[in-house]
Amino acid sequence: MSSLKAYKGFPGRVLFRYVARAKVSLNVFYGGSSGRAAVSALETAQQLTSRKLAMYNPKFELVTDFHQRLEEPTVQFDFINGEELLLHTAGLKVTDVREAMFTMAEQVEGRMNEAGTALEDLEDV
């Protein structure tokens, strides 16, 4: 499933515009020599490098931290209104990570609409 597929009736490409940055931090060998616990974080990083996503949100920034520390892999999303979402991804599928990102983006959109702040107002910042 592409990260641009519709999410609960909202086009993913529209909701992705609310994501300013993602930081993916992982040790590919976390959880043993197979590194299976890091798969969803690694796949998330790969999906976030899509040229299609760059077209929808050219200001999006992906930061990767590949390391050898014995830490659970994480993905942190920073949204354009300053909110953050930190996910510990060892027990998650990449679709779970994407759904959490879109759910938070939808909430950010709602809070911005309630505050009377338009997406376009923040795009020039």
Tens digits of per-residue pLDDT, 25-53? 998 887 765 567 888 999 999 999 988 88
pLDDT score at 3:
43
Which residues have C-beta within 8 Å of that of residue 77, sequence separation ≥ 6? 19, 21, 22, 84, 85, 87, 101, 104
Other C-beta atoms lying within 10 Å of the C-beta of residue 33: 7
Tens digits of per-residue pLDDT, 60-115? 999 999 999 888 999 999 999 999 999 999 889 999 999 999 999 999 999 999 98
CB 90 within 8 A of CB 32: no
pTM attached to this predicted model: 0.84
Helix spans in 9-93 (H)? 12-16, 39-47, 51-56
